[in-house]
Structure 1
């Protein structure tokens, strides 16, 4: 349904400027403190219940990236980059033969906010399982990138839970006032649509856009200002006041590494506390590789 809404805005468009090359810069910086890492990880996480609910992630569904609005060669580069990123974190992938139905859609459009508003006006039921404040925030976002994520609450073994009395999905939440390290259910991402406003991304490389999509799509994250972060992150790609990183950073890799290395029913706070450990492991591995 969504691809048909996007098609009119995406056919025959040239790619953003930039050749998509990966730039390797410098050496691994000294690691920040655990408190600084946890603070930044919480700032980029789009969740208000991390003490009592798991962070959403792709788990029970194979990942199939798709791109609209770019010429085939350039779309293929973005898809390959997203697939390579996902495979590094151990995601369950579809065969790379072009036969799957995309559940991770990246589209380059004229006005992503207008597309989402059109869906909200004419097909409002597609947003029925979104929390009201999340829907309002998504529709009000006038930035260059717009992310619509659908999730399903499942048992920790992957079985879908029954709908609530109002016909909506039951959300993963331990309830009560006591924080736990894990609960009996998990929150699986079942689909992601990322809309880039093409006029606002022409100065970005394909690698930057694919990595930004990876960081926004494989987890429920939010964009941030680069000046307020102790570590670089691709989530600051559209901050006009800083020079954005050329690709996903050590922090980004550690964040997704912690998310996908954790148990699927682990509470979000427990996962976030593991980002520092992932950073340390990355630094150790890079040091060992440099000494070989």
Structure 2
């Protein structure tokens, strides 16, 4: 399951500074609580949260004028972003690396096809991992009305630090329901489901099989939700 390996650096834009600062600070605290490494004060942003007038129009503008922001993403996925309804548009660029972090290279001995050095193979864990390199979240400003800073910051953390889809958490108590069109009352902050998912995703090695990681996440969520003795 994809996750950040390099230190995370947040950047926010599109709202008054008085709102963006506490929003960014909360995302930083959430990442710290999950054991995610963070960049320093002058780090280069690899998580971008932008508040825009029209997310679909902004995706079209970025695709035309800043195509680098979609580096490594298939055109079909970009088209899917444009077709996605609602006030939220999110995407992440990822890269397959060896379990030790080695990157692919174009080897002349295989006619320039990408190659990856694998030092060890195992039936228990995978010889590769998938790293998130860059995440972007666009939120329509109108949709942010009526939501508080903590709610938006927690939602943004879940959508950018993981590749979980909001629809994937349908039917559970999760901050991922914050922008659902249904007239239900969303949580005021991250729930046990969210904390369990995020922290467990970043626990252990990045080359664990997805089936193993999903079971670990499930156990962590159930433990967090269990009533105190």
Which interval holds the TM-score relative to the shorter structure? Answer: 0.7 to 0.9
Higher strand share: 2
The 3 A distance-change label for structure 1 pair 126 and 105 is: closer
| Uncovered stretches (5+) of structure 1, i.e. residues with no partner | 1-54, 172-179
Is the contact between residue 156 and residue 184 of structure 1 (CA under 8 Å) also seen in structure 2? yes
1:262 and 2:204 matched: yes
Query: 2:81 is matched with which residue: 120, 126, 138?
Result: 138
**d(CA) in 2 for partners of 1:168, 1:84:** 42
1:111 and 2:54 matched: yes
1:203 and 2:117 matched: no
Is the contact between residue 173 and residue 193 of structure 2 (CA under 8 Å) also seen in structure 1? yes
1:81 aligned residue: 26
Query: 1:157 is matched with which residue: 88, 100, 108?
Result: 100
| Uncovered stretches (5+) of structure 2, i.e. residues with no partner | 117-122
Higher relative contact order (CA 8 A, sep 6+): 1
**d(CA) in 1 for partners of 2:111, 2:142:** 41
The 3 A distance-change label for structure 1 pair 125 and 88 is: closer
The 3 A distance-change label for structure 1 pair 239 and 126 is: closer
1:240 and 2:181 matched: yes
**d(CA) in 1 for partners of 2:63, 2:204:** 34
**d(CA) in 1 for partners of 2:114, 2:78:** 15
Across the two proteins, how many residue pairs are aligned to each other? 220
**d(CA) in 1 for partners of 2:175, 2:221:** 16
